[in-house]
């Protein structure tokens, strides 16, 4: 089965990103594939490379990054949700003349078209945290 | 044509869920998908015809929903029980959604190729 995962909940204040990651890990382990992970709303914070979780707490940015790199997962951060929360990749930072960027590979920034495409292309779409 | 249903179950101005859902619906319609909207629970409040969110300030979700037809989204479903529970009737709503019963929801969702929750 080919899955697209849609995540709404914030990594620091909800369980959505962790539940989605656990699902993705279990799915891949069972031989399924992840077509795309789309981070929407507050879930876009997962993409921030400036995240510093307290000692003893899960680092969801790092965990998703490692999972994405290991399995070559397409992980898309919703652009409109990201920009207004201060999450930018290098090209957006340049475009808006900002001092820094915090979204980098394997995360990419793109629009809702990627959500709809992911939904149409996958066998199943699962929403986490809304 | 691939069928997609956006399920929207939040009240309009407490979060960005509703707008995210409407925007996704518009994108789906622009992808030439057969896109429909199912409004559940407090989501029905998005359809009220006397919204005045200007001072919040936020965009009127009723007006956004009115634009759906232009984009080819003609199927909007609401549950009769959600109207009754909130003391509302069709006359309180913008647009003329299809009013269905709770028991019709599973078959509506069953016909879809994909469903997105907002």
Q: Domains of chain B by range and CATH? A: 3-117 (3.40.1260.10)
What is the percent of chain A with per-residue pLDDT over 70, rounded to a whole number?
100
ipTM confidence score: 0.87
- Which residue is it, tokens 């990201």? A82
Confidence of residue B83 (pLDDT cuts 50, 70, 90): very high
Q: How far apart are CA A39 and CA A58, in angstroms?
A: 18
3-state secondary structure of A50: coil
pLDDT over 90 (residue B3): yes
**8 Å CB contact of B115 and A117:** no
Burial B6-44 (b: 16+ CB within 10 A, else e): bbbbbbbbeebbbbbbbbbbbbbbeeebbbbbbbbebbb
Q: How far apart are CA A106 and CA A69, in angstroms?
A: 6
Q: What's the confidence (pLDDT) of residue A52? A: 95
Q: For residue B2, what is the nearest residue in chain A, using CA coordinates?
A: A120
Q: For residue B6, what is the nearest residue in chain A, using CA coordinates?
A: A116
Name which of B16, B23, B116 is nearest A125 (Cβ-Cβ).
Answer: B116
Q: How far apart are CA B118 and CA B43, in angstroms?
A: 10
Are B23 and A112 in contact by the 8 Å Cβ rule? The answer is yes
A77 touches chain B (CB under 8 A): no
**8 Å CB contact of A115 and B24:** yes
**Residue A120: domain span:** 2-128
CATH code, domain with A99: 3.40.1260.10
What's the total number of domains in chain A?
Answer: 1
Q: What's the confidence (pLDDT) of residue A42? A: 96
Q: What's the confidence (pLDDT) of residue A69? A: 98
Enumerate residues 7 to 46 of chain B having a beta carbon within 8 A of any beta carbon in chain A: 15-17, 20, 23-24, 27-28, 31, 33
pLDDT over 90 (residue A111): yes
- Which residue is it, tokens 């400036």? A50
């Amino acid at each position: 089965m080919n899955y697209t995962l849609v995540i709404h909940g914030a990594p620091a204040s909800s369980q959505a990103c962790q539940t989605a990651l656990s699902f993705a890990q279990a799915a891949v382990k069972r031989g399924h594939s992840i077509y795309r992970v789309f981070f929407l709303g507050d879930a876009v914070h997962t993409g921030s490379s400036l995240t510093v979780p307290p000692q003893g707490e899960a680092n969801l940015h790092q965990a998703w990054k490692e999972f994405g790199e290991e399995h070559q997962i397409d992980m898309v951060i919703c652009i409109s949700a990201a920009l207004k929360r201060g999450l930018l990749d290098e090209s957006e930072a340049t475009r808006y003349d900002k001092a820094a960027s915090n979204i980098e590979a394997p995360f990419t920034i793109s629009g809702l078209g990627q959500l709809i495409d992911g939904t149409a292309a996958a066998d199943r779409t699962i929403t986490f945290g809304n | 044509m691939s069928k997609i249903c956006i399920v929207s179950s939040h009240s309009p101005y407490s979060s960005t869920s509703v707008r995210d859902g409407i925007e996704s619906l518009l994108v789906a319609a622009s992808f030439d998908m057969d896109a429909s909207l199912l409004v559940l629970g407090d989501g029905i409040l998005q359809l009220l015809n006397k919204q005045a969110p200007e001072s919040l300030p936020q965009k009127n979700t009723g007006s956004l929903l009115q634009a759906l037809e232009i984009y080819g989204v003609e199927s909007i479903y609401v549950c009769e029980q959600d109207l009754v529970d909130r003391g509302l009737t069709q006359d309180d709503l913008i647009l003329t959604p299809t009013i269905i019963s709770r028991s019709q929801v599973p078959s509506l969702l069953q016909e879809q190729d994909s469903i997105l929750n907002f």
